[in-house]
Amino acid sequence: MAEFVFEIGTEEMPARFVPKLAAELKQLFRASLEEAMIGFESVDTYATPRRITAHVVGIAAKQRSEEETVTGPPVRIAFDEDGNLTKAGQGFAKTQGVAEDQLYKLETGKGEYLAATKTVGGGDTFDILPALCSKALDGLSFPKRMRWGDYDLLFGRPVRWLLALLDDKVVEFTLENLTSGRITRGHRVMGPGPFEVASAADYFRIMQEDCKVVIDPEKRKNLIVEEGNRLASEAGGSIVWKDGLLDEVANLVEYPVPILGDIGEMYLELPREVLLTSMQSHQKSFGVQKDDGSLLPHFLTTLNIEPRDRALVKKGWERVLKARLEDARFFWEADIKTDFEHWLAKLDKVVFLGPLGSMGDKTRRLEKVCGWVADELGDSKDVLPGDIDRFARAGRLSKADLVSEMVNEFDSLQGLMGGIYARRAGKGDIVADAVAEQYLPAGPETPVPSTLPGAVLSMADKADTLAGCFGIKKVPTGANDPYALRRCALGICRIIMEHGLDLDLEQLLRHAQAAYSEDVKWKVTQEESLEMLLDFFAQRLRAMFTGQGFATRVVDAAIGAGYSDIHTLKARLEALSRFSESEGFEQAVLTFKRAANIIRKQGEEAGQELTGGFDLDMLEDDAEKALAERMEESAPRFEQLWADGDFDGLFGQLAELRPSVDAFFDNVMVMCEDSSLRANRLNLLKALVDRLGRLADFNALQV
């Protein structure tokens, strides 16, 4: 078994390209080797800003050999009347590369055909690898490709060298003006090369010793973390690690050298969020904190070189960061001298979205919606009557920081700075918490607001955007969702479920619509818009729950029973999912679907109004009397279980009702000739179906 190394040397790639390219090259090479029937033990890939490497261990010297049966033309066409091969038969033998006497007749389901058995594979791996390397190069994808010179190749960055070795032999292939060889290059300063690699087994040693390149990205990350933690510990603190930034830094360097820099004590007066943003966003550096979370006057940055004079390099980094911190301090000092009313006035000149008015208009709408939501939650979330105005005030102040100096420079701090400024201005915890968390969740993997004020404002903000965009027909189409409306809908759903809010979705959307000015020129009526919005939420909920592993039919049945109460929906779905795994579930579904189908056909479709109210004195048969008694007896318990949110108990009650329903269908003629008796029996079933319909749409459960 042999060892193969393939390296693509390039100009520096953006950090975001690097991990994706390594993963993609691994997938491409594994698939190509398997398709080519070449055995191997493992395929590993590595990437730095200047190279992508595939390393195949235990690669077979030859392809596997396999026998393959190939059918040709029908026998009636392949042979003439004398039994000799026709031109069609001869051509088949020539195409398959077999002797004519090796052909035979094969009976198939479509008739008798000429066939041949041939051996495929068995070629030398060395001869096949050039094509696989070229295919892998062509298969790599980039967010943006570039062309250079007069060459036709499109790639993420210019390719500078190609190395391909099967043990000690060069796997030669050509890419435009480049031919693969055994030459590699190292770190631009510490080991530029070129270096000759005698065999694949020498590659990693040469990378480390001669090229001064740490080729494994995980090892680069570990080096940064270990040395960073050591330096921070010596300074009496710990690093404020941020995973996304750590990945980026590890993919910006080939030889990571962490160093600890210093900042002036006066900058510690700035909010923690401002300091960290200045370090992370602009300098790709990490903060250093004490045990209590307050920042120390240090930062960790990562060099791509072992400098001759660390002190000089450290001083240069400190000077650059100081300029950023000076800007931040200037913005901070300017903002804390500014009154919120000044910012609110400026918001009236900032456009929200076309015909939907200004950001000032939006905050006035949020003021109304936040007040309504807080009042609606009331006792269920211990919202005091005197706090409702504070929730509303949070809506009005929510976007003020968008016109602040700090957010104008550091837009990632929107909301956070508003919360800081609100707390500093004495607006209270409700306002500060709400404003700080209003943009959460920012995606499916990010947390929802941790506080109730943050949850209320976030929902109001998202509902306002949804109501406005749907009203002017700015709705998502396919993958196109420029206003992130899918994220808005999912955010509202997650907040309601994770905070356990007793809030009606339809009413929330109606209040969001009503908060808009009558001057807005809608492209659809508000009722049409609401209908589209509710359907949009149903689709998002369906996708979310099925993505969480719930069976599609169970999700459809739970949503079909209503989804305006999202908190209850989640509990019903979980209970229905457990019920669907219980013994007798399928028979129960068939029984209850039968009742629902009768009501649909004899009620809605027949134009007969059924109320669900039935007269006990009109019941004649013992089976219908028994069902009615069970319905009457179980009604109070059903309502109590519903109030307690005990949906397992509710589905258990359905199981208890089923024998009485089965007996009813076995013994009672619903569609009897007596119209009064028939209507009474239908209303008995209607009462049953109405109760079932609160739990699930049994017609959606296919069994």
Q: Residue 576: CB partners within 8 Å, gap ≥ 6?
A: 554, 557, 558, 647, 651, 695, 696
Query: Does 342-549 carry CATH code 1.10.357?
Result: no
> Positive or negative CA dihedral for 175, 176, 180, 183?
negative
| CA 60 to mean position of chain CA atoms | 39
For residue 217, cis peptide bond before it (omega within 30 degrees of 0) = no
Instruction: State the 10-residue block means of pLDDT for the chain, 703 residues long.
Output: 92 91 92 89 94 93 80 84 83 82 82 81 85 90 83 86 94 90 94 93 95 95 96 96 94 96 94 93 92 94 94 94 93 94 95 92 96 92 90 96 94 94 95 96 90 96 96 89 93 95 95 93 94 95 93 92 92 92 83 79 67 74 82 87 89 84 80 77 81 84 67
Query: Per residue in 395-434, is it b (16+ CB within 10 Å) or e — as a string?
Result: bbbbbbbbbbbbbebbeebbbbbbbbbbbeeebbebbbbb
CA-closest candidate to residue 75, choices 118, 105, 116: 105
| CA 324 to mean position of chain CA atoms | 34
pLDDT digits 0-9 by tens, 396-405: 999 999 999 9
258 vs 224: CA distance, rounded Å: 6
The pLDDT score that the predictor gives to residue 603 is: 65
The pLDDT score that the predictor gives to residue 702 is: 67
pLDDT digits 0-9 by tens, 371-390: 999 999 988 888 888 899 99
CA-closest candidate to residue 390, choices 441, 460, 457, 461: 457
pLDDT digits 0-9 by tens, 462-516: 999 999 999 999 999 887 889 999 999 999 999 999 999 999 999 999 999 999 9
DSSP 501: -
The pLDDT score that the predictor gives to residue 617 is: 73
Q: Where are the domains of the chain?
A: 2-62+124-209, 73-118, 217-333, 342-549, 571-700
The pLDDT score that the predictor gives to residue 267 is: 94
522 vs 112: CA distance, rounded Å: 69
